[in-house]
Structure 1
Amino acid sequence: MLKRSPTQASTSSLSATRVGSGVRHFAPPPLPGSEFDPAGDAEILHRAMFEGQVDEKSLMSVLAHRTPPELYHISQAYSDRFQTRLPSDIEAKTSGNFGKLARACTMHPAEYDAWCLDRAMKGTLGADKEAIVEILVGRPNVEIKAIKLAYEISFGQSLASAVEAQTSGDSKQFLGMVLEANRDENTVQRDVAADAEALYKAGEGKFGTDNATFIRILGTRSEKHMKAVIEAYAKQYKSTLQKAIESEFSGLNSGTIKTALLAVVRMATSKAEFFADLLESSMSGMGTKDDKFIRTLVRLRYPPIMHAVKTAYEAKYKKHLVKRMEEESTFKGAYRELAWGLVGEE
């Protein structure tokens, strides 16, 4: 079996660039080591789909063991050689959850996030605001900018306008702030104690809630700064910022903004545990929420990130992630094998 490459580039290095009007193109990440053969992998994928019956094992031999930067170059090599897009061919030749996961693996991360956002905003039962929050909140500015560009190129409108049309009130304001991509990223020194005090006075320290203060601080501060604020808040006020948000944003119309603010706090506290919780929530309850599971898994498939999330999952839920997945009946056949491959052996 092929081993996954140790390439450790992050999605933030996959910058997006428009080339020509309406042309979908993203600037490539650095080409991995000399042993990596994108043209050879492209040939394997094409043969697996077009020489007789679809060979799912051959598809998985590549898709489960290549990082997103490598798959970007494979997709480019595939397009150059066969004059068609790899995600489109996979969509046409596969089906079910295996097809969804396989296609997702071959899309540029920003393009896939844009596709997921469009799908979340066009649900048959209305917008899936939880999915919108999970995709956007906590992203570095460069990733937000890449997703915005990918969305505009793919769907012909601005992402900010699309999200604005599907949200209202505090959640509309907060997500609009996120999409401005102006969040501090450790470049501005701020007063940790002052922010902790402001949040206390905006919530637990007053009658009612000053929502604007929560939105302003949690929507603009860096993750590092927020971690310090969370610790200062707990030390000074013998409570936690997470509990304060859960208590203060408990009204019938507070669901989306509460989810967004809690996501900021939980990611600043432990990003690995946050994603471990997302994976668990996709499998808990009646049936597996496969779209959520696939979306989360695809985002985590860099080996160092996946390792951290698996470690956090085991620490919190007292079992290996793969063992937990084995409990779900949805994981069958090729879908099971590809998901297992992306998670990696315990």
Structure 2
Amino acid sequence: MAQLSGTIRAASGFDPAADGHTLRKAMKGLGTDEKAIISVLCRRNNAQRQQIAVQYKSGYGRDLIKDLKSELGGKFEDVILGLMMPPYEYLAQQLYKAMEGLGTDEDVLFETLCTHSNAEVRAIKETYQRMYHRSLEQSVRSEVSDHFKRLLTAILQANRDESGRVDQAKAANQAQALYKAGEKKLGTDEETFNVILVTQNPAQLQAIMAEYEKISKKGFIKAIESETSGDYRQALMAIVKSSLNRTAYFAERMRDTMKGLGTRDNDLIRLIVSRAEYDLANIKQEYLKLYGKTLEKDVASETSGDYRRALVMIVEGN
């Protein structure tokens, strides 16, 4: 497996006082120097941004986040403020926003919860509780229903096997169980899908899918598409596709935000900001393989202004 790498790394020769001075100059007086803000904040990793915020307050007695909010706007503001949040706080905030008010953005739920490790899910849950004084499980259960709710509730227990071990005989039995619960049955036994897909490690899931190919003409991904629907289907697909190739899954998600009429800007921002320091460099490689063009080019063609400059700089990296 290729080593995971983000596009944003710790900047060499880092000087938080100098960066703080650049940002203060960019926001002082009439007008705002957005390019200066981009050149600093889109080329520092999160730990360095936190140091800049501390130095900014120490030097100027001002809150950097408040100053950025007062000077910026629109999608550009969303990108910059997203970069300024510690990673788990950012994910917790995105989940909260997805569930507040009328309606729920289910894409955020399955994309965030179905693709992270046990430790990451636990960290997201703890951060959510600290920020919003409510358990993430309670929020999720109040916002979604039926099989999707049960699937997400199971994932939130953060008890998936992460051993990496493969039991081939067990994989053959599990493939048979999934076949009987879906294709071979009138209706679908969602509990069987949940129990197997939520609990098994990625290597075991890959073995299950290989065994499934032997007993079904469709293959497992096609079976999910034909036997399930809606948000539940999307959540299962997130589990399966991210188990096969997580960076390819996120490349596909990024492509989806830019397909058709208009760009789903909120989703694109969330994906790029949240993956920037983890595996965005790998996602770029998968994107090029899958679609024959660079992620930078598509982002540049589907966005505009300072918002575009910020996203493209993050994707290009430092």
Structure 2: distance between partners of 1:79 and 1:183 = 42
Aligned residue number for residue 151 of structure 1: 128
Match of 2:39 among 54, 58, 61: 61
Query: CA 1:8 to 1:271, structure 2 compared with 1: closer, same or farther past 3 Å?
Result: closer
Structure 1: distance between partners of 2:82 and 2:11 = 24
User: Does the residue aligned with 1:327 lie in a helix, a strand or coil?
Assistant: helix
Would you say 1:244 and 2:219 are equivalent positions?
no
Would you say 1:175 and 2:149 are equivalent positions?
no
Aligned residue number for residue 338 of structure 1: 310
Aligned residue number for residue 135 of structure 1: 112
Residue 34 of structure 1, CA deviation? 7.2
Match of 1:285 among 256, 260, 263: 260
Structure 2: distance between partners of 1:193 and 1:87 = 53
TM-score, L = length of structure 1? 0.82
CA RMSD of aligned residues (A): 2.5
Structure 1: distance between partners of 2:197 and 2:304 = 41
Residue 276 of structure 1, CA deviation? 1.1
One-letter code aligned to 2:296? V
Structure 2: distance between partners of 1:183 and 1:76 = 38
Aligned residue number for residue 317 of structure 1: 291
- Given that residues 257 and 263 in structure 2 are in contact (C-alpha distance below 8 angstroms), is that contact kept between their aligned partners in structure 1? yes
Match of 2:14 among 36, 40, 60: 36
- Given that residues 87 and 104 in structure 1 are in contact (C-alpha distance below 8 angstroms), is that contact kept between their aligned partners in structure 2? no
Residue 203 of structure 1, CA deviation? 1.3
Deviations 1:153-202 (A, max 9, x none): 22221111111100111111111111112222126665322322221221
Identity %: 35
Structure 1: distance between partners of 2:12 and 2:136 = 38
Residue 314 of structure 1, CA deviation? 1.6
- Given that residues 110 and 146 in structure 1 are in contact (C-alpha distance below 8 angstroms), is that contact kept between their aligned partners in structure 2? yes
Residue 294 of structure 1, CA deviation? 0.2
* Structure with greater helix share of residues: 2
User: Does the residue aligned with 2:279 lie in a helix, a strand or coil?
Assistant: helix
Residue 335 of structure 1, CA deviation? 1.0
One-letter code aligned to 1:57? K
- Given that residues 196 and 229 in structure 1 are in contact (C-alpha distance below 8 angstroms), is that contact kept between their aligned partners in structure 2? yes
Aligned residue number for residue 177 of structure 2: 198
Aligned residue number for residue 98 of structure 1: 76
Alignment of 1:68-107 (within 5 A): 68-79=46-57, 81=59, 85-107=63-85
Q: Which structure has the higher relative contact order (CA within 8 Å, separation 6+)?
A: 2
**Unaligned ranges ≥5, structure 1:** 1-6, 11-30
Match of 1:108 among 59, 81, 86: 86
Deviations 1:298-326 (A, max 9, x none): 12212x72222112112221222222223
- Given that residues 86 and 106 in structure 1 are in contact (C-alpha distance below 8 angstroms), is that contact kept between their aligned partners in structure 2? no
**Unaligned ranges ≥5, structure 2:** none
Structure 2: distance between partners of 1:204 and 1:79 = 61
Structure 2: distance between partners of 1:107 and 1:48 = 20
Structure 2: distance between partners of 1:157 and 1:95 = 29
- Given that residues 41 and 74 in structure 1 are in contact (C-alpha distance below 8 angstroms), is that contact kept between their aligned partners in structure 2? yes
Alignment of 1:258-297 (within 5 A): 258-297=233-272
Match of 2:301 among 308, 317, 327: 327
Query: CA 1:33 to 1:283, structure 2 compared with 1: closer, same or farther past 3 Å?
Result: closer
Aligned residues: 311
User: Does the residue aligned with 1:242 lie in a helix, a strand or coil?
Assistant: helix
Structure 2: distance between partners of 1:340 and 1:93 = 21
Structure 1: distance between partners of 2:232 and 2:259 = 23
TM-score, L = length of structure 2? 0.88
